[in-house]
Amino acid sequence: MLNVEAVYFYIYAVVLVASALSVIFSPRMFLGVCAFFLTLLFSSLIYWLLSAEFIALFQFILCGLFLCIILMMILRKITILTLPLRVGSLAKIILTCVVLLIFGLISYFYMSVEFSGAISDFFGFINAKAADRFDFTNFTFPLHLVVIITGVMCVMLRNIYLTKNDGEN
């Protein structure tokens, strides 16, 4: 028996990933904004699948409709709608993806080790911190290190991978 929710999930997920890729690698700015709208639309549908209807409608109306229209108007005003795209070379992009995949795995292990993979534990962590009864000895994985490493890694990757001379407006 085919699960309808699974079919919906896979359709939405594939279109969402494709449109998110198109946001970055679309050859023209106009297509990038259209892909951005599709990203917002299909992410709203994914939220709907997760029974968060209010968030889905909120994001689609406020971000999907209003923000994309404003973005399109701004781009038309400064006449860069049809500018071509220039990014780094393919090898650099692949290397970046590999580094980020490793970072994602580290983050996943962090969540599973510290919070047992449950969001309720994460909110318990915030509540404990807010109530000032937080004991750092319970948390072996240093959270502040994760935040610092993330920021430093972004800055380093930008400086390493970007070439200086060919630019995109």
Partner 1 sequence: MTDGFFDIGLFHYIILAIILFIIGMTGVIVSRSMFRIVMSMFVICISVVINFLAFGCYCSDSLKYANIMSFLIIVMTLLQATGAFALFLKVYHSNEYLDIEKIKDKEN
Q: Which residue of 86, 129, 142, 143 would you call a contact of partner 1, by CB under 8 A?
A: 86
Return the number of the residue (54 or 136) whose C-beta is nearest partner 1.
54
Contact window for partner 1 (CB under 8 A) among 34-42, 128-136, 137-145: 34-42
According to the binding rule CB under 8 A, does residue 60 interact with partner 1? Answer: no
Query: For the residues of the chain, what is the DSSP string, one character each?
Result: ---HHHHHHHHHHHHHHHHHHHHHH-SBHHHHHHHHHHHHHHHHHHHHHTT-HHHHHHHIIIIIIIIHHHHHHHHHHTT-TTPBP----HHHHHHHHHHHHHHHHHHHHHHHHHSTT-HHHHHHHHHHHHTT---GGG--S-HHHHHHHHHHHHHHHHHHH--SS----
Return the number of the residue (104 or 142) whose C-beta is nearest partner 1.
104
Where in 127-146 is the site for partner 1 (CB under 8 A)? none
Distance in Å, CB of 135 to partner 1, minimum: 22
Return the number of the residue (137 or 155) whose C-beta is nearest partner 1.
155
According to the binding rule CB under 8 A, does residue 84 interact with partner 1? Answer: no
The footprint of partner 1 on this chain (CB under 8 A) covers a number of residues equal to 67
Contacts 24+ apart (CB under 8 A), 13-17: 13/46, 15/42, 16/42, 16/43, 16/46
Q: Which residue of 61, 145, 149, 154 would you call a contact of partner 1, by CB under 8 A?
A: 154
According to the binding rule CB under 8 A, does residue 34 interact with partner 1? Answer: no
Contact window for partner 1 (CB under 8 A) among 99-107, 128-136, 137-145: 99-107
Q: Which residue of 15, 34, 80, 146 would you call a contact of partner 1, by CB under 8 A?
A: 80
